[in-house]
Amino acid sequence: MATRNVLAFDFGASSGRAILGRFDGDKITLQETHRFANEPVQAQGRLQWDVLRLLHETRQGLAKSYAAAPYASFSIDTWGVDYGLLDARGRLLENPVHYRDGRTAHAIEEVCARIPRQALYARTGTQLINFNTLFQLTVAQNEQPQLLALADRLLFMPDLLAYFLTGEKYSEFSIASTSQLLSPGALQWNTGLLAQLGLPSRLLGPLVDAGARLGALTDETCELCGIPPAEYIACCAHDTASAVAAVPQPQGEALYISSGTWSLMGVERRTPLLTAPAAQANVTNEGGYGRSIRLLKNIAGLWLLQECRRQWRKEGQDLSFADMAQAALAAPAFARIIDPDDPCFMAPGNMPARIADYCSRHGMTPPQTIGETLRCVYESLAARYALTLGTLQELTGSRYPAIHIVGGGCQDRVLSQWTADACSLPVICGPVEATATGNLMVQLIALGELADLSQGREMVARSFAPVTYAPHPSSQWDEALARLAALQP
């Protein structure tokens, strides 16, 4: 069979990449054809995405990838919740605001004064996190009513970039499902909720499923890039949904951690779970491929490590992630534990200082060295995974035989081993490029190269050899879990 080439753009919170996939009918091979920084810009009191730079880099990626190998189609995935507003002529009205911007700090309380937490959860199935699009829009409505009045269409980040390139305005299901603007598990805007909150539903346009074939590059882009008009196919436009699509599931229902800036830990289901305990645990029901439900928990993942690294670099210490893992391994074990999900770690800033401050405030000796700080973060993350495992098992009534870790974070051997130890379960790592692979796989299904998701997952399993970690449970981990549980508010 002839090789079929497809192109994925995967935008993370700190970088973006173009990845060319070559499918030979059996396996897929990946080639990174373009990588670029995605640096948010603090301006006029707001942390903002430099969206035109991202558009420019996407075009570079389209051209460079075409030079590497002509591709049949391309697709885009990004992080969730953030959006741009277009006017009636389709012009972008302002830069999209970063979800870590502080403008939504009190938005949950404001909305929940009108709709109680439990009711909001039952009507959306979405975890209550202050950065959800629903809360961002509520703040925009209060602070910039003239902006919303001018706006004609809201597009989430991947849909916005696709619109710039193709001129087509759609909202893909998985990315829309991060917004808290959908009815639970449905391809349907929750217009009743929007009306109750005084938010304009007219901003919300047609919803499509992943796999929809949505047109081709505009003449403008073809000319600028010097390439013919490739087709745009919607993948699971939410990066986590693309990653989950690429979790190989050799033994049935799998528990996964999509490990990157965030660690998203969860399971795939057919229907949303909207029970009171689910609301209490604040797990989310996001959309996946084929209208599946990703029941998952957001855990502050490698963010803490990334921010520590950034701070130490500023101070003249340039550490690789491998150096950091080694430093953690060499430091004394179980000296202190933090809650990685504490709101004090959310915004960008001096993370080592915040960790030290957190330790002091909770009666622990602050870490004195880089190694001690890292050991604390690593152990706290593994312990948080283990507590979340317990929560998910309780909520679903299922026991899971293993944990699949996918994404860049699964290359961290120390974290993977400690996750196995803390959770007392085997950890199966890979693929590292799960998000891009899931993005490419959905294009191949839409093009008829693969029959369905299970064939796609078989292709993933054939293409990327997993790395497995056997658990070494210990009473020290049990104690660490108990200490973390006691820290929770």
**Residues contributing to the site for ligand LFR (CB under 6 A):** 79-81, 99, 238-240, 260-262, 264, 298
Comparing CB distances to ligand LFR, the nearer of 166 and 240 is 240
| Pairing outcome for strands 403-406 and 293-300 | unpaired
- CB-nearest residue to ligand LFR: 80
CB of 303 to ligand LFR, least distance (A): 10
Residue 346, C-beta contacts closer than 8 angstroms, at least 6 positions apart: 100, 300
Comparing CB distances to ligand LFR, the nearer of 166 and 180 is 180
Q: Give the residue ranges of DSSP H helices in 177-266.
A: 191-196, 219-225, 239-245
| Residue in 77, 101, 239, 339 annotated catalytic | 239
**Burial (CB count within 10 angstroms: exposed 0-12, middle 13-18, buried 19+), residue 364:** middle
CB of 132 to ligand LFR, least distance (A): 9
Comparing CB distances to ligand LFR, the nearer of 129 and 382 is 129
DSSP, residue by residue, 366-422: PP-SHHHHHHHHHHHHHHHHHHHHHHHHHHH----S-EEEESGGGG-HHHHHHHHHH
Comparing CB distances to ligand LFR, the nearer of 291 and 362 is 291
CA dist., res. 60 & res. 33, Å (int): 10
CB of 260 to ligand LFR, least distance (A): 6
Cβ contact 292:269 at 8 Å:
yes
CB of 366 to ligand LFR, least distance (A): 29
**Burial (CB count within 10 angstroms: exposed 0-12, middle 13-18, buried 19+), residue 132:** buried
CB of 57 to ligand LFR, least distance (A): 18
The two structure tokens encoding residue 93: 């009205």
Backbone phi and psi for residue 332, each to the nearest 5 degrees, phi listed first = -60, 140
Residue 349's CB is within 10 A of a number of other CB atoms, namely 12
Comparing CB distances to ligand LFR, the nearer of 135 and 477 is 135
Q: Give the residue ranges of DSSP H helices in 289-361.
A: 303-314, 321-330, 351-361
The CA-to-CA distance between both ends of the chain, in Å, stands at: 57
Strand pairing partners for 403? 255, 427
CB of 264 to ligand LFR, least distance (A): 5
CB of 108 to ligand LFR, least distance (A): 15
Q: Give the residue ranges of DSSP H helices in 183-275.
A: 191-196, 219-225, 239-245
Give yes or no: 239 in active site.
yes
Comparing CB distances to ligand LFR, the nearer of 261 and 311 is 261
Comparing CB distances to ligand LFR, the nearer of 190 and 435 is 435
Residues catalogued as catalytic: 239
